[in-house]
Structure 1
Amino acid sequence: MKNFIETIKNIWSIEELRNRILTTLGLLLIFRIGSYVVIPGVNSDVLASTSSASGGGIADLLSMFTGGAFSRASIFALGIMPYISASIIMQLAGIAIPPIQKMQKEGESGRKKLNQYTRFLTIIICVLQAPSYIFTTIDPAARPQSAFWLTTAVILLTTGCLFVMWLGERITDKGIGNGISLLIMIGIISSLPFAFFQELVARVDNGGLVIFIVEIVALLLVIAMTIMIIQGTRKIPVQYARKMAGGGTRAVSGARQYIPLKVNSSGVMPIIFAQAIMFVPLYIAQATGTQSGILVELANFGGFWYNLLFATMIILFTYFYTAIMVNPTQMADDMKRNGGFIPGVKPGKSTADYLDNMLSKLTLPGSIFLAFIAILPAIAMLFGVKQQFSIFFGGTSLLIMVGVVLDTLQQIESHLLSRHYDGLMKTGKIAGKNPAFGMAS
């Protein structure tokens, strides 16, 4: 405890880190305040009564991702999901459209162009999605019926999404952690206390306090496994050739280093992207007024087809993002250029093939485990856990919360270690080595 307090003092003593943390907290506070600002003209009392009568399903999940703004008809009701959907489209377009592929390879200038195109696409998605949200989510009795109000509401919802996007970018640039992920996480956490106490009261009333304790223990075990899979790495040994020192008079033996290949190299982005796509059937079903069929099945949070498609997309997105984030060919070329080699493997193409094969072996179990964690809420609901609490029992919410917290802690850790302070953990490293498996946990 003493070391932890000392670490907090060290964090506060670093002016840059202190300013970044305060900036992040301030921008997150603005996001939370904005989620309670209702679209002008909407009757909050009527909306609350109709929402409570028709709540449930994946709509509750979408409301959780926006910090409740979706169900409150807030100016931030669309949240950050349109921007994420636009990012998905741009990433997929980079595979098939040569000009976008070229921009992806142009470095910083290409990244700025892609970001600008993503913002324009976000506006288009918002303009298309906002009317659907208004007509299908806000009860006619709770809103004006004029065309002027509809136009202003669409403009407000679009502007609200763009403002949330700007907040996320400001957090990433001027704050600490990934801004987009933090905004999603803060929306998720905001509903955790209510869901926790609702589950507790329900269990106590039914004489099932022991069952509630079992649920909490199981949840802690899931969190521990999630941390292991997110932090897990496989260290590939790399030997560097001998170098001449002292003006070429003596040879210095090459150092032995390691390439840490993560079990989950893509982080939480596959889960966020897959979840964004899973909201599409809900939007279409609402827009068309569909009450049955495949769209309704895919919008059923606890349904078989929803969870099957969700798990499949997580696995595919994990491979997709791993291929984007990790380039074995470039790693092999850099290693060869610096005189390094993997013992027993020829430099060049053989090394690239070896790294690619090792990465595939790591990504497969990692992606399957992520998919399993993502569908745990549906399994928990089968055992009688209420939906509001089951969302935190594994699932997208848990994966995002754990991943974002670990990523933010690692950034704080980097600031501390770069100034020769002890890190947040006793070892100075968030990820420790598990000698039995050669993995960090």
Structure 2
Amino acid sequence: MSGFAQNAESGLGAFSKADDLKKRILYTLLILIIYRFGTYVPLPGIDPTSLKEIVGGNQRSLLGMFNVFAGGAVQRMAIFALGIMPYISASIIIQLLTGVTEYFKNLKAQGEVGRQKITQYTRYGTVILALIQGYGVAISLENSQGIVQDPGLYFRFVTTVTLLTGTVFLMWLGEQITARGIGNGISLIIFSGIVAEIPGALASTFELGRTGAISSGVIILILLLLLIAIYFIVFVERAQRRVLIQYPKRQQGNKMYGGESSYLPLKVNTAGVIPAIFASALLLLPITLSNFSSSSENSILISITSMLGQGKPLYMIFFAAGIVFFSFFYTSIVFNPTETADNLKKYGGFVPGIRPGERTALFIENLLTKLTVIGSAYLVIICLLPEVLIANYPVPFYLGGTSLLIVVVVGMDTITQIQTRLMSVQYESLIKKTKFNR
């Protein structure tokens, strides 16, 4: 207990000296407050009463998932109704192009200059997708009777421009959090939207229990399942397969140097929460397509969208397939076994029993494939199992597996970044004390 108290005291002492970290946290909180405020500013020319009735009856469909990622802005048809999903969709397209086209592969290999160009293309893609989706939303609102007070070309123009501006502004806010805040800007925006709606989701769930719509035993079972899922997420996200790396001894004069050993940590879930977000973004595509025609012309898309409701077999199959695909695809982008093996060989490191170079790259690749199989299976279980239970009861989307995964993983990453910055402050303080004592 005394050791824990000392660690806590030293952590508080380091935080009190971390002026830059305090500014970053306050800056991040300010931006998130601005974002939450925007989710309550409605589009002009909308009848909120009619909108609430229509959206309220579709919360069990893909529209409910869209509403989760938009932080509740869809059900209020706010200026941030598109949320950050166009940016995520553009990121998916650019990353797919990076894996299959030589031009984007070369851009990625150019380092910082290439990354800046890729970021620029992602922004352009975000604008194009937001423009298309915004226009689709405007048409969809006009096709829904009673929502639009004065339909016509002017309403479509204003709605499209407003939604486009809202998405671009959110993209800019996310980049500001990444650059000047505590990092993970886009993820934190999604995280804050979900967290802000969870208290209301819990309250509505307890209200259903009070009115008898669902039994108390079911509520207890759901809460227990959520707690088990949180523990499972934390356990797997911290799990690593450490590969022993040995460095040879070398003699200089009469002294021996080297001979140390270290570990190459390979996470079980290298892709993190990205596969779940990307798979969700693709599942929202039918909503975008169905918005461009009247109800008599898009009956096929409407049928597909209805079959992609929460807990439906088609939804479960596509969602699981998307998670598995993006787990392997994103892992291949963020971790290159050949590059890692070359770096080890360059600095004299090797895996005991494995020949340096190509054999080491093949060993790491096989190991990473096995870990990705486990990681993708874990993501499928976390994202889909709670949906099976929740789909049979009127429980909000915010208590689903995807929402829970995003909240826990992003929360862990944010805490890790804060701890890293605190450690850098402690090291700087220690270095200053050492120089002063000398």
Relative to the length of structure 2, the TM-score reads: 0.89
**Preserved contact between residue 136 and residue 286 of structure 1 (Cα < 8 Å):** yes
The aligned counterpart of 2:24 is: 20
Q: RMSD of the alignment, in Å?
A: 2.1
**Preserved contact between residue 177 and residue 404 of structure 1 (Cα < 8 Å):** no
The aligned counterpart of 1:111 is: 115
Whole-angstrom CA distance in 2 between matches of 1:310 and 1:157: 27
The aligned counterpart of 2:432 is: none
Instruction: String of CA shifts for 1:24-52, please: whole Å, max 9, x gaps.
Output: 10000000001111112223233234433
Aligned-pair CA distance for 1:241: 0.8
**Preserved contact between residue 282 and residue 295 of structure 1 (Cα < 8 Å):** no
Whole-angstrom CA distance in 2 between matches of 1:263 and 1:243: 35
> Secondary structure of 2:354's partner?
coil
Q: 2:394 aligns with which of 376, 379, 386?
A: 386
The aligned counterpart of 1:428 is: none
- Is 2:85 the partner of 1:81? yes
Aligned-pair CA distance for 1:249: 1.9
Aligned-pair CA distance for 1:137: 4.3
Instruction: String of CA shifts for 1:206-226, please: whole Å, max 9, x gaps.
Output: 384344233222211111111
Whole-angstrom CA distance in 1 between matches of 2:10 and 2:406: 29
Aligned-pair CA distance for 1:185: 1.0
Equivalent positions of 1:143-182 (< 5 A) are 143=148, 144-182=150-188
Aligned-pair CA distance for 1:21: 0.5
Instruction: String of CA shifts for 1:302-355, please: whole Å, max 9, x gaps.
Output: 210111111111111000111111111111111111111111111111111111
Whole-angstrom CA distance in 1 between matches of 2:58 and 2:341: 56
> Secondary structure of 2:123's partner?
helix
Which segments of 5 or more consecutive residues in structure 2 lack a partner in the other structure?
428-438
Instruction: String of CA shifts for 1:103-160, please: whole Å, max 9, x gaps.
Output: 1111111111111111111111111111211222464423221312321221111011
Q: 2:266 aligns with which of 261, 266, 278?
A: 261
State the percentage of identical aligned residues.
Answer: 36
> Secondary structure of 1:260's partner?
strand
Equivalent positions of 1:87-106 (< 5 A) are 87-106=91-110
> Secondary structure of 1:38's partner?
coil
Whole-angstrom CA distance in 2 between matches of 1:192 and 1:292: 34
> Secondary structure of 1:419's partner?
helix
Aligned-pair CA distance for 1:4: 4.6
Equivalent positions of 1:289-304 (< 5 A) are 289=295, 290-291=298-299, 295-304=304-313
The aligned counterpart of 1:273 is: 278
Instruction: String of CA shifts for 1:67-116, please: whole Å, max 9, x gaps.
Output: 11112111111110001111111111123322222111111111111111
> Secondary structure of 1:344's partner?
coil
- Is 2:349 the partner of 1:344? no
**Preserved contact between residue 274 and residue 310 of structure 1 (Cα < 8 Å):** yes
> Secondary structure of 1:142's partner?
coil
Aligned-pair CA distance for 1:228: 1.7
Whole-angstrom CA distance in 2 between matches of 1:199 and 1:166: 35
**Preserved contact between residue 14 and residue 425 of structure 2 (Cα < 8 Å):** no
Using the TM superposition, name which of 316-325 and 56-65 deviates more: 56-65
Whole-angstrom CA distance in 1 between matches of 2:164 and 2:156: 12
Query: Letter of the aligned partner of 2:160 in structure 1?
Result: V
Using the TM superposition, name which of 205-214 and 316-325 deviates more: 205-214
Q: 2:406 aligns with which of 400, 416, 430?
A: 400
Relative to the length of structure 1, the TM-score reads: 0.89
**Preserved contact between residue 284 and residue 295 of structure 1 (Cα < 8 Å):** no
> Secondary structure of 1:300's partner?
coil
Whole-angstrom CA distance in 2 between matches of 1:399 and 1:94: 27
> Secondary structure of 2:226's partner?
helix
- Is 2:421 the partner of 1:412? no
Q: 2:198 aligns with which of 192, 196, 204?
A: 192
Aligned-pair CA distance for 1:252: 3.1
- Is 2:221 the partner of 1:214? yes
Equivalent positions of 1:60-71 (< 5 A) are 60-71=64-75
Whole-angstrom CA distance in 1 between matches of 2:27 and 2:107: 31
Aligned-pair CA distance for 1:416: 1.4
Whole-angstrom CA distance in 1 between matches of 2:421 and 2:106: 34
The aligned counterpart of 2:336 is: 327
Using the TM superposition, name which of 324-333 and 292-301 deviates more: 292-301
Aligned-pair CA distance for 1:7: 3.1
Whole-angstrom CA distance in 1 between matches of 2:418 and 2:412: 10
Whole-angstrom CA distance in 2 between matches of 1:60 and 1:123: 24
- Is 2:295 the partner of 1:287? no
Whole-angstrom CA distance in 2 between matches of 1:194 and 1:142: 25
Whole-angstrom CA distance in 2 between matches of 1:6 and 1:205: 49
Aligned residues: 416
Q: 1:42 aligns with which of 25, 43, 46?
A: 46
**Preserved contact between residue 282 and residue 299 of structure 1 (Cα < 8 Å):** no
Instruction: String of CA shifts for 1:378-432, please: whole Å, max 9, x gaps.
Output: 31135x443306x424x211111111111111101111122238xxxxxxxxxxx
Alpha carbons of structure 1 residues 186 and 343: separation in structure 2 relative to 1, 3 Å: same
The aligned counterpart of 2:434 is: none
Which segments of 5 or more consecutive residues in structure 1 lack a partner in the other structure?
422-441
